[in-house]
Amino acid sequence: MRKEVITADPGMYSLSETNPRVAAERKAYKFGWSWWKTLLPPIIAFVIFVGGWELFCRLADIKPYLLPKPSDIVLAATENAANLWVSVWTTIIESVIGFLLSVVLGVGFAIILASSKLVERSIYPYAIIMQTIPIVAIAPIIVIWFGAGVNAIVIIAFLIGFFPMLSNTLIGLNSTDHNMKNLFYLYNASPFQTMFRLRLPSALPYIVAGLKISCTLAVIGAIVGEYIAGIGGGQGGLGYAITVAASRLRTPYLFACGFSASLLGITFFLLVNAFSKWMLSSWHESEMKSSEG
């Protein structure tokens, strides 16, 4: 009788399946390589841009008060580090308070508007009109009502970030699947239960999109408010510091304040983006795909 010997193909089983250590190392390698692929191109572009800027200013012999070199900006930020940090911290506090107010009131008003089509048709147009009025035109009225200082700045930051939260949340609440709403209706769910157990959870991706827009606008609103209603002295925010630096032709420090404001907005966005990934990555397709990639 002829015996058949069945041999396993070496390629059928990979090392990663048989050796957990190799699998973990390969996973760590892929993770590290994906990070490098993400970070390396912006870093290279940044180095080329900053190096070209420095070289151009040196070769053209441009005066620092017209266009400072990156080294001048770093030197100005270092020499004024204490004042710059106070300005940044003041703007952070104003931006965070204004942002939180825009989130709470924006989501709250959106829930009220989404609860009744009659209320939405009656009030939502006025929210749009309020958004189209330039904040510079409203700011003096806010200063008259609330006085110059932190209160007026927080309200200006809130007004700029309020409409994106209201609009995005309202769109999300009105985009709930009709089949799910019919199912809740069949089970005799109350409007309160339908809103907070179905419509609000399904609107979370839209709310997160509003958060990403509103967090950066809150920083812009705080700086704009500091231009108009900012407090001076040693407690002024970045808007006040920019105004003083521009009036005294301290251009390197002016650039340092501008870059600090930009970094502040980027930091806010990254924090909100990390929060959205944490909240949506386990169930929503957009963050699941990005986390797998």
Domain ranges of the chain: 15-60, 70-292
Q: Per-residue pLDDT tens for 141-165?
A: 888 888 878 888 999 999 999 999 9
d(CA 47, CA 42): 9
* Tokens 């009036």 belong to residue: 247
225 — phi, psi (to 5°)? Answer: -65, -35
pLDDT at 176: 85
Position 91 scores a pLDDT of 92
- Residue 61 per-residue DSSP state: T
The full DSSP string for 23-50 is HHHHHHHHHHHHHHHHHHHHHHHHHHHH
Residue ranges in the chain whose pLDDT is less than 50: 1-3, 5-6, 8, 10, 12-17, 290-293
19 φ/ψ angles, rounded to the nearest 5 degrees: -125, 105
The pLDDT, as a whole number, for residue 39 is 76
Q: Are 133 and 193 in contact (CB under 8 A)?
A: no
Contact present, 276 and 287 (Cβ < 8 Å): yes
- DSSP codes of every residue in 156-224: HHHHHHHHHHHHHHHHHHHT--HHHHHHHHHTT--HHHHIIIIIHHHTHHHHHHHHHHHHHHHHHHHHH
Q: Which pTM value belongs to this model?
A: 0.79
Pairwise CA distance, residues 256 & 265, whole Å:
14
For the domain made up of 70-292, the CATH class stated in words is mainly alpha
pLDDT at 116: 87
pLDDT tens-place string over residues 32-64? 556 677 778 888 888 899 899 889 988 988 888
